[in-house]
Amino acid sequence: MPVFEYKALNQKGQSCKGFVDAENEDSACSKLRAGGKYPVSIRESLSKKEKNKKQVLSGVLFDRIGVDEIQIVTRQLATLLGAGIPLIGSLSSLIEQSRNPALKRILAQIRDSVNEGATLTDSLAKHPKLFSNIYINMVRSGEASGSLDVVLDRLAEFGEKQRALQGKLKAALVYPVFMALVGTGILFFLVTYIVPNITRVFTDMERALPLPTRVLITISENLRQYWWLEIGICVLLVMALRFFLAREKGRWMWDRLKLSLPATGSLTRKIILTRFASTLGSLLNSGVPLITSLKIVSALVDNKLIQKVIEDAMDKIEKGKNMSSALETSVWFPPIFIQMISVGEQSGQLETMLEKIATTYEREVETAILGMTSLIEPVMITAMGAAVGFVVLSILLPIFEMNQMI
């Protein structure tokens, strides 16, 4: 639906401006008058030139809205709602202070949708490129439990921590990734251009070549002649993997693999447990009921196996069990985690204990990430050295044999 930018006078004669979505300009004017505003000027927010660009380049509108901006809006909306300002008023305030025209239009569409009777969840769901399924599910749970401000605050905090963690990873991986790209480029140049000129001398001798040399010649010929086929195969494999992961069974298998991998499985479990403990503790501390809090946490962990464990635990809790007993049968929750929850339940300080658990696991996650990133550089150097050593050995072996013959 088109979005119109307007300037109008309210019933007190005061000037106001904003955005409204409508089928056409007449409908926009009617909608404004129905809301007690009398339009002075109104124009479509997108020009024809911008429309053509939008049709040619799909998603340009959303590409101009960064993840950081969404997190800031989430934090501000949580603050406004927590201060007792109604949802419509809070959205209007965000629209007025936003400096991004694209974000203004999106917020205006969300506000108008809510003003027409839709829930915030349904209004956000109309923009899936901006708001993920986790985001929408948590907002839905917050609306259902009457704790929307708490949920939005937790979403903002979660997003900020994710961005900080990604920033640390990117900073630690800049040098290894650069070395990998340069090394791969050099190896490709050696194997496809330099090696064939050298190995041509050996093949012209019509003598049996050592196994490493034959392997190197085969790799070189395949890269030179069938590089396009190999790239096509890689693209097809990536597409097939994405299609598989989009299916329910594929997602279950992928989530199980992430939790079971020897190198990164423990880190993935700790990250999920950190989200579980910090979010649940914050929600319980804000007065959200346990079952509702677990539903919100289930959407946030983003892992099918853990979600199934939490859902089973909710059923057991509704039947009268405490949370530690409901979770202790799962292999994904370590005994010390369950024991600390049990202590918190017995002492009546479950929220405090969950926050302590979250702090402990956050430290362990940071330590594990630093340890893994510090190992990447030597591993890559070793791998590149092994590749170069194989090329050099494959070239030198026939030369040594020729010297022995002489």
Same domain, 141 and 153: no
| pLDDT on residue 337 | 92
Quote the domain boundaries for residue 111: 63-147
Same domain, 113 and 190: no
168 within domain boundaries: yes
| pLDDT on residue 35 | 78
Residue whose structure tokens are 């915030």: 120
Model confidence, pTM: 0.66
Q: What span, in angstroms and rounded, lies between the C-alpha atoms of 389 and 405?
A: 24
Which CATH number covers residue 265? 1.20.81.30
320 within domain boundaries: yes
Condensed to tens digits (0 to 9), the pLDDT of residues 160-217 reads: 877 777 777 777 778 778 888 888 888 888 888 888 887 777 777 667 778 888 888 8
Same domain, 338 and 369: yes
Which of 156, 141, 165 lies closest to 70 in space, CA to CA? Answer: 156
Q: What span, in angstroms and rounded, lies between the C-alpha atoms of 311 and 303?
A: 12
Q: What span, in angstroms and rounded, lies between the C-alpha atoms of 155 and 279?
A: 9
| pLDDT on residue 57 | 40
Domain boundary, last residue among 105, 126, 147: 147
Same domain, 176 and 89: no
300 within domain boundaries: yes
Q: What span, in angstroms and rounded, lies between the C-alpha atoms of 67 and 129?
A: 11
Same domain, 124 and 245: no
403 within domain boundaries: yes
Same domain, 238 and 309: yes
Same domain, 137 and 152: no
Say how many domains are in the chain.
3
Q: What span, in angstroms and rounded, lies between the C-alpha atoms of 148 and 142?
A: 4
Domain boundary, last residue among 109, 128, 147: 147
Same domain, 140 and 152: no
Q: What span, in angstroms and rounded, lies between the C-alpha atoms of 50 and 45?
A: 9
Same domain, 261 and 340: yes
50 within domain boundaries: no
Same domain, 173 and 104: no
Mean pLDDT (10-residue bins), the chain, 406 residues: 75 76 76 79 60 42 69 89 89 86 87 88 88 80 82 81 75 79 84 80 73 85 84 92 89 91 86 88 80 84 89 92 90 91 91 90 85 81 86 84 66
Who's near 268: CB < 8 A, 6+ residues apart?
Answer: 258, 259, 261
257 within domain boundaries: yes
User: Is residue 15 classed as helix, strand or coil in its secondary structure?
Assistant: strand
Same domain, 121 and 176: no
Condensed to tens digits (0 to 9), the pLDDT of residues 11-22 reads: 777 778 777 777
Q: What is the DSSP string of 313-373?
A: HHHHHHTT--HHHHHTT-TTS-HHHHHHHHHHHHHT-HHHHHHHHHHHHHHHHHHHHHHHH
Q: What span, in angstroms and rounded, lies between the C-alpha atoms of 81 and 96?
A: 16
Domain boundary, last residue among 93, 114, 147: 147
- Write the DSSP symbol of residue 208: P
56 within domain boundaries: no
Q: What span, in angstroms and rounded, lies between the C-alpha atoms of 79 and 150?
A: 9
Backbone φ and ψ for 354, nearest 5 degrees, come out as -65, -40
Same domain, 267 and 277: yes
51 within domain boundaries: no
